[in-house]
Amino acid sequence: MPEISLTNDFAMACDPVLIARAVGIEPDAKQAELLRSTSRRVLLNCCRQWGKTTLCAAIATHEAIYNAPAMIILVSPSQQQSGELFKKVAEFWKSLPGAPEAEQESMTRLKLANGSRIVSLPGSERTTRGFSGATLVIMDEAARCDDELLASVMPMLAVTSGRFIALSTPKGRRGWFYETWMHGGDTWQRVSVPATECPRISAEFLEEQRRILGTTVFEQEYSCAFHDDNSSAFSSALIEQALVSDFAPFFLEEAA
């Protein structure tokens, strides 16, 4: 790999946007904001084709090169999805001038000469246990990852106080991603980007998709909207209205 100057190397270390540009990505304003974020807990609720997977691959590449020795875990509902994210990270690493050489490389794991490791895992609680000391965990398609998977990966960050980034389009008003988005508190940085805010998606395409998919699916895929499952007998809003604690008791204890 050709070398890069110390000045440029220092600039990339300070600004992950420069890594994105070095691998051929010109981030828009919202993407640049995400790349430069230092929040330890991030939720990305974004439309399809915004580039969230590509951006997270750039973040992982920056972590592996400039925060060595880093331990980066990539997880999603399936090995195929995790593998796609890993493939992007590997492509970015290979295209960066002066990046550390690989000591070990496979379809799912990469160990660099600077001590950093990148591991791609499928979304199973059984296969994700056993890893520790992660400095960055990225969960792709997070709305489709169950609570058990979340419980298995979060302890990886306990000692390092590392970062956790979850990215997804919505998948109904259920599961940890929805609950955390709605009720997770100020611990989480929330990034929401509907398709109308993505300059690379045309209004004509969106109108076509609305006609093809129908309003509910369209709003889930392109408007970052959480909708109830069509098979639900009662809506989430109706159920929440029924959950009150200030009603009079059904039975009163008789005085002794």
Rounded distance between C-alpha atoms, residue 68 and residue 118, angstroms: 11
Structure tokens at 253: 């204890």
Using N-to-C axis directions, what is the helix angle for 52-66 and 6-14, rounded to 10°? 120
Reported pTM: 0.85
pLDDT digits (tens, 9 = 90+) for 60-113: 999 999 999 999 999 999 888 899 999 999 999 999 988 999 999 999 999 999
4-13, 26-35, 148-157: least confidently modelled range: 4-13
| Phi and psi angles of residue 64, each rounded to the nearest 5 degrees, phi first | -65, -35
Q: How far is CA 26 from CA 19, 20, 84, 177, in A?
A: 10, 7, 21, 29
State which of 1-5, 41-45, 148-152, 156-160 shows the largest mean pLDDT. Answer: 41-45
Residues linked to residue 121 through DSSP beta bridges, in sequence order = 75
Is the sign of the CA dihedral 99, 101, 104, 106 positive or negative? Answer: positive
Q: Which of 165, 103, 159, 166 is nearest to 134 (CA)?
A: 159
pLDDT, mean of residues 220-228: 94
Higher pLDDT among residues 55 and 124, named by residue: 55
pLDDT digits (tens, 9 = 90+) for 149-183: 999 999 999 999 999 999 999 999 999 999 999 99
- Answer yes or no: are the C-beta atoms of 145 and 139 closer than 8 Å: yes
Single-letter code of the amino acid located at 133: G
- Answer yes or no: are the C-beta atoms of 134 and 73 closer than 8 Å: yes
Q: Which residues contact 242 (CB under 8 A, 6 or more apart)?
A: none
Domains delineated in the chain: 6-194 (3.40.50.300)
CA 19, 190, 40 angle in degrees (round to 5)?
60
Rounded distance between C-alpha atoms, residue 207 and residue 85, angstroms: 29
Please check the confidence at residue 243 and state whether its pLDDT lies above 60: no
DSSP 209-225: HHHHH-HHHHHHHHS--
Using N-to-C axis directions, what is the helix angle for 203-213 and 215-222, rounded to 10°? 140
Please check the confidence at residue 254 and state whether its pLDDT lies above 70: no
Q: Which of 195, 59, 187 is nearest to 135 (CA)?
A: 59
| End-to-end CA separation in angstroms for the chain | 87
